[in-house]
Copies of this chain bind each other. A is one copy, B any other.
């Protein structure tokens, strides 16, 4: 039985507690949370502590707190030479206090408390200082996910930036599509199958091969009609810049 302790009680912490607890080879022996009630629905109360000095022995300590708090939390741990990892996409390995053996256990997904997630399909990006720790982290990660990657800190930083493009920025374009629908009294539902198909297409085609529409066809008449239709300066500006960006891709070919 692999003993794991989770430090934190936010979205990532809660989803990890559930994913670990489901697996028969892993036991979440304890959770540290300053707000004990935040995780009270997930495990028995004797297993929840808000005092670092009460932390038990474990094979792995997972710090799943906000980026800014990772360094401070790691230095408050009252033990040495144990395996301590954080779950952030943007914080470096060096942020963790050197008194313990350090690593990264970064699940690349957008978590919200409401939505259930299937952890087996979530990529987990691993890094560690020592090779033996890496092998152990790989074993743990593969117990809960089918997609485990060895990713160094530079690659992880790039992934985090790329994730902002394909998640936050994509969602903002959905939001703009929604705004255009609302302004013109059209149900956003009409666009939903297109949204799903657009995502599905790049599961098998490269985004470059999947591209269609007026920009890639250089259909100046339609582009001009769309710019004329849009009244909001922000919408117009983003339309122009992304049209230009699509057309520049073409030239790079």
Contacts and interface: CB of A to CB of B under 8 A. Distances in A.
A237 interface: yes
Interface in A148-200: 149, 151, 154-155, 157-178, 180-181, 183-187, 189-200
A34 interface: no
A90 B225 contact: yes
B184 A154 contact: yes
A81 interface: no
24 contacts: A67-B219, A68-B221, A90-B222, A112-B201, A115-B201, A121-B193, A147-B189, A149-B187, A158-B186, A158-B229, A159-B184, A159-B190, A160-B226, A161-B229, A165-B177, A165-B239, A166-B177, A166-B191, A167-B194, A168-B212, A178-B208, A192-B202, A196-B200, A198-B199
Contact of A108 (B110, B183, B191): B191
A208 B173 CA distance: 11
Contacts of A249: 172, 175
A245 interface: yes
Given A166-B177, A177-B165, A171 B210 contact: yes
Interface residues of A, number: 91
Interface string A92-132: 00000000000000001110101101000111010000000
Given A185-B155, A249-B175, A166 B194 contact: yes
Interface string A209-223: 011111110010110
Contacts of A110: 194, 197-198, 201, 212
B246 A172 contact: yes
Contacts of A68: 221
Contacts of A185: 155
A248 interface: yes
Interface in A216-248: 216, 219, 221-222, 225-226, 229-230, 234, 237-239, 241-242, 245-246, 248
A206 interface: yes
Nearest to A124: B190
